[in-house]
Structure 1
Amino acid sequence: MPHAPIAWELTLVLILGLLLYDYFFHVRAAHVPGIGEAARWSALYVSVAIAFGGAVWYFGGSELGVQYFAGYLTEKALSVDNVFVFLVIMNSFKVPREDQQKALLIGIVIALVARAGFIFVGAALIEHFAWVFYIFGIILLMTAGHMMVPEDKRHGEESEGVVLRMTRKLMPEGCEYDGDKLFTVRDGKRVMTPMVLVVVALGLTDILFALDSIPAIFGLTQDVFIVFTATAFSLLGLRQLFFLIEGLLERLLYLSYGLAAILAFIGIKLVLHALHENNVPFINDGNPVNVVEITTITSLVVIVGILVVTVLLSLFSPRGKAKTAVGRLRRRLAVWQELDARHAAAADRAAAYEALVAAEKAVRALPEEYRAMIHERHTLREMLADAHARQSRSPTEGQGAA
């Protein structure tokens, strides 16, 4: 559906303005955003996305409005799962916490430009080849099946994916960070820092995620303007989402299953639409098949319903609560290790150690059936024992952890 050029121009100005504002007033000064700061910025981006959707609804009608919100909600839900892989990348490259924001923002810009290209290519294919809907539907159904693989195994495979292996091989010998700079000067020569590879890894990883998310949103609407804006606004808040929910991911125990259900639903919707528009010779002699098509409003209701059920099951599941406790322990341990490595002030290390001990006690209080599920349990126990010893506490204090 064509849109007035002014709509595209104003939208692009808004997106560019948000990126510049984010950089100059938030990312430019390296720091570790707290939960409150991340929440405020996330709320800002969500509010802008909702306001934009309201404008689409007002000027374009309810059908376009529903398409936008269904697409935005789907892309936002899929981006939550992306955050886990972003965490793996940050940990793999040992990016200092205070320098992660700039890398995330640049990586998101790369992904936004690349996805825009994918969107216009996909729209051109759909316009000329109706059978593309079959391909998109099959891709989503296969992705849904992949997401049903047990979470630990799936994430373990992704953490050592092709992007990380490739970027790590590109890292020069002796390459070191210099704050959040992409390039620095050493011995009179301009050299790159590992931050360049982090940005590349983040951008390429998000481009790979586009292979799932772009077909998904085309399953909800074929309006290029709606596809682009819903995708763009979901990406713009991804950096804030990273810092807001990285500590909450463990609670979303059934997220992958919920996302799998959403992708499977949209995949079926795409296949039904492909049958309705069929011109493939070996299917019904190249004639359209009389099948039921799923409306956009039905899609929106189903997506919201799946997400609500997924979140509620995760929040009130005993297993989810246990996973939260283990995740909290790992984060407290990482904070203490970082402070210890930097030889931080004794007061800061003592406070971090106290939080670590409290988290450890919470994990020890879990039933054995949940502690037995801890990934690399023996390694975690050894790191805790080392932390106790280095803090000059009783060597036996860490025994029995996890």
Structure 2
Amino acid sequence: MSETPLAFMIATFVVLGAFFVVDLFVIGRKPHVPSTKECVQHIAFFVVAALIFGGLMWAFAGAKPAVEFYSGWLTEYSLSVDNLFVFVIIMSNFAVPKVLQKYVLSVGITVALILRGIFILIGAALIQRFTWIFFIFGAFLIVTALKLATGHDDDEEYHENGIIRVLRKVMRISSEYDGERLRTEKDGVKYFTPMLVVFLAIGTTDVMFAFDSIPAIFGLTKDPFIVFTTNVFALLGLQQLYFLLGALLDKLVYLPVGLSVVLGFIGVKLVMEALHGNTLPFLNGGHPIEVVPEVPTWLSLVVIIVSLGTAAVASILKMRSLESADGKTRR
């Protein structure tokens, strides 16, 4: 049950809906490659908007929901940045023209929001009925954290999934794009353009991302309203972030390490919460295990800020060190 007043929730959905429509279907539909200035302005706007929203949450709902929002937003935003690696690979594999990439991202992000909304509703229903689901969520995040830390995260590469392979066999798909069109005609024969495959590639890939992000956010808050708003704020401005960081993603060398610490921490936190609300008959006779300490919300926020901040600073220092060494070599 949400602690946020209903009137505030309704106003939030109206404003976020307007933001989303403008960002994706007005700005996002203009076929152009955004400049660095445009990207920075849009990203700064949505970051400030998220910070203000957290402040309003504090004023209308209290400190705890506000801290949960900030923790969730930072986690979701960081996971979105990491997922941009795969979007870059998909765009490259399918040779999407630069001028069409904003449109592709618009559709992909819309699909992502719909899928995440469904997952959030399912996750909230499962948590309310089956507290032991936290054991599964926690274990999944810990395994994901270990993969990130050891560099064995399969998400680093993109491989066509079964849906797309079947699609190529049963449908006529041309080798060339025709603007934003999904269908084109060549020599009197109608074909689907590669745009359809790209949409499916990004949409189905985001399903994989949701398996990381949704358990992670439920480890920080059980309020579906906060879970959904953190996802919306993380996705808003993602187009501009894609173009701004596209050339720098490979230089954020320590981001996976920072994310692994965050996901590992949240995974352990979920397992601890599952022990507190234990109902499994083969554990302590189905009774809660109270000896495990509770992790306060503020500590989660501190761990997230320190882990991601340290990873960002370390990546910048590493980048400068390599640039300095490269400059000396050229001399």
Matched, 1:103 2:104: yes
The C-alpha deviation readout for 1:194-213, integer Å capped at 9, x for no partner, is 11211121111112101011
User: Paired residue for 1:195?
Assistant: 195
CA distance 1:12–1:56, shift in 2 (3 Å)? same
CA distance 1:108–1:232, shift in 2 (3 Å)? same
RMSD of Structure 2 on Structure 1 (CA): 2.6
Write the distance in 1 (CA, Å) between the matches of 2:237 and 2:36: 15
The C-alpha deviation readout for 1:16-38, integer Å capped at 9, x for no partner, is 21122124542222111121111
Alignment of 1:26-65 (within 5 A): 26-65=27-66
Write the distance in 2 (CA, Å) between the matches of 1:164 and 1:254: 33
Write the distance in 2 (CA, Å) between the matches of 1:253 and 1:163: 31
Alignment of 1:196-235 (within 5 A): 196-235=196-235
Matched, 1:260 2:260: yes
User: Paired residue for 1:288?
Assistant: 288
CA distance 1:188–1:4, shift in 2 (3 Å)? farther
Write the distance in 1 (CA, Å) between the matches of 2:330 and 2:151: 22
Write the distance in 1 (CA, Å) between the matches of 2:92 and 2:180: 15
User: Paired residue for 1:9?
Assistant: 10
Contact 2:29–2:106 (Cα < 8 Å) also in 1: no
Contact 1:140–1:212 (Cα < 8 Å) also in 2: yes
User: Paired residue for 1:365?
Assistant: 329
Question: How far off its partner does 1:5 sit?
Answer: 4.1
Question: How far off its partner does 1:61 sit?
Answer: 0.5
Please give the secondary structure, in 2, of the residue aligned with 1:233: helix
Question: How far off its partner does 1:162 sit?
Answer: 2.7
Contact 2:172–2:191 (Cα < 8 Å) also in 1: no
Question: How far off its partner does 1:121 sit?
Answer: 0.6
The C-alpha deviation readout for 1:276-311, integer Å capped at 9, x for no partner, is 111111111111112101111000001100011111
User: Paired residue for 2:146?
Assistant: 145
Question: How far off its partner does 1:44 sit?
Answer: 1.4
User: Paired residue for 2:19?
Assistant: 18
Matched, 1:166 2:165: yes
Write the distance in 2 (CA, Å) between the matches of 1:202 and 1:279: 39
Question: How far off its partner does 1:251 sit?
Answer: 2.2
User: Paired residue for 1:180?
Assistant: 180
Please give the secondary structure, in 2, of the residue aligned with 1:148: helix
More moved, 110-119 vs 171-180: 171-180
Alignment of 1:380-399 (within 5 A): none
Question: In structure 2, what residue type is equivalent to 1:183?
Answer: R
User: Paired residue for 1:244?
Assistant: 244
Which protein has the larger Cα radius of gyration, Structure 1 or Structure 2?
1
CA distance 1:203–1:260, shift in 2 (3 Å)? same
* TM-score normalised according to structure 2 size: 0.91
Taking only the aligned residue pairs, the percentage that are identical comes to: 42
Flag the structure with more relative contact order, 1 or 2, with Cα contacts below 8 A and sequence separation at least 6.
Answer: 2
Question: How far off its partner does 1:165 sit?
Answer: 6.0
Please, which runs of 5 or more residues in structure 1 have no aligned partner? 326-361, 368-402
CA distance 1:44–1:215, shift in 2 (3 Å)? same
User: Paired residue for 1:114?
Assistant: 115
Question: In structure 2, what residue type is equivalent to 1:160?
Answer: H
* TM-score normalised according to structure 1 size: 0.75
User: Paired residue for 1:273?
Assistant: 273
Please, which runs of 5 or more residues in structure 2 have no aligned partner? none
Write the distance in 2 (CA, Å) between the matches of 1:183 and 1:54: 46
CA distance 1:59–1:101, shift in 2 (3 Å)? same
Aligned length: 328
More moved, 262-271 vs 51-60: 51-60
Contact 1:140–1:215 (Cα < 8 Å) also in 2: yes
